[in-house]
Amino acid sequence: MTAMTTLPDRSRIRLPGISSRAYEHPADRSALVALRKLTGFDTILKNLAGLFNDRSLRLMFLASAVRASPEQFPDLYHAMLDGCYILDMPHVPELFISQNPIAQGMALGSDKPFLVLTSGLVELHDPEEIRFVTGHELGHVLSGHTVYNTMLYYLINLANRLALVPFAWIGLKAVIWGLEEWHRKAELSCDRAGLLATQDVDAARRALMKLAGGRRLAELSSDEFHKQAREYDAVPDVRESLLKLLQLQGTTHPFAVVRFAELDRWAAEGEYSDILAGQYPRREDDADASVGDEFRAAAKAYQDSWNRSADPLIGAVRGVASGAVDAGARLFNRFGGSGNRDDDDDDS
């Protein structure tokens, strides 16, 4: 990676060689590790993405947006460079600013990923919050999400074009729904990457609250937003729980109060401080990552979230779901993990 010439305006801890496994949500991470263990999977997926012409996508933003540089949007450009420095990115991606009042960020591309921030997102956030936003998008790049993001971007656009053609979009919708469900988990991962980039919990909180309520920060309260998150979680009956599930259809991001509560909990627990103290997995060890370990971590994360939740629907199925996860873990240990040295060590 080229040498960085920018200096943060306050001390931040650089995380040399950090693996994306350090911040990935267990549900996101277990799926990615398993996919990467399949020989040739990434190659097949990239070839499929190539059918949509990745080069054409970059050219579209090169023609219709502004590419950040030391001369154009220099503050945004340097914020991205600082994020690259802190996360020790192997390559510095291009950053485009697109005129759009909707606050949105994207990390796209397969061979050479690039970032896109809308003008609405830029105008909404202050400089420290922008560090969180750009760090979030860099997290997508470091995790290898951009291939899947690009597929989802194109498939959603294609489905919208076919919406008026009877039955033409049904097959696409099934794929899109699956990608959207994964993407919602990936967003929780990359919120963590954004926090590692800014290393300012208050800035991360503000950024997520602004996505929900706009830029009038004096009117916002993190304590009250927490209350909203708890109320959303503990709806009065199962009917509202089902409505929550239905409302997720067609969305690529978790709702703002969910993201806020999830990130705040992660920041308050020991994993975030351990990473800043230098205790995190390195990229050089990614090839030795244990699928079994990731499966068990995901199962534990789901069980912990069920135990924390006051949602009546989750309460009704908690015992059944926990039993299913335990059974799945036992089956994986018996049949899926026997060939992995890490799993054998766990059993000894």
pLDDT in tens, 256-310: 888 998 999 999 988 999 999 999 999 998 877 665 666 566 556 555 554 544 4
207, 222 in Cβ contact below 8 A? no
For 106-129, how does the pLDDT look when each residue is reduced to its tens digit (9 = 90+)?
Answer: 999 888 899 999 999 999 999 999
Residue 191 has pLDDT above 60, yes or no: yes
Residue 170 has pLDDT above 70, yes or no: no
343, 333 in Cβ contact below 8 A? yes
Average pLDDT in the 330-343 region?
Answer: 45
Query: What is the DSSP code (8-state) at residue 235?
Result: -
Locate the domains of the chain by residue range: 20-289
DSSP assignment of 46-100 equals: HHHHHTT-HHHHHHHHHHHSEE--SSSSHHHHHHHHHHHHHTT-SS--EEEEE--
Q: For residue 220, what are its two tokens?
A: 């916002």
What pLDDT does 180 receive?
Answer: 80
What pLDDT does 339 receive?
Answer: 43
What pLDDT does 347 receive?
Answer: 42
Residue 316 has pLDDT above 50, yes or no: no
Residue 318 has pLDDT above 80, yes or no: no
Residue 158 has pLDDT above 80, yes or no: no
Residue 205 has pLDDT above 50, yes or no: yes
DSSP assignment of 250-269 equals: T-SS--HHHHHHHHHHHHHS
For 212-266, how does the pLDDT look when each residue is reduced to its tens digit (9 = 90+)?
Answer: 999 998 899 999 998 988 887 765 454 555 665 665 666 777 888 889 989 999 9
111, 77 in Cβ contact below 8 A? no
Average pLDDT in the 166-177 region?
Answer: 64
The full 3-state SS of 90-146, as one line of letters, equals CCCCEEEEECCCCCCEEEECCCCCEEEEEHHHHHHCCHHHHHHHHHHHHHHHHHCCH
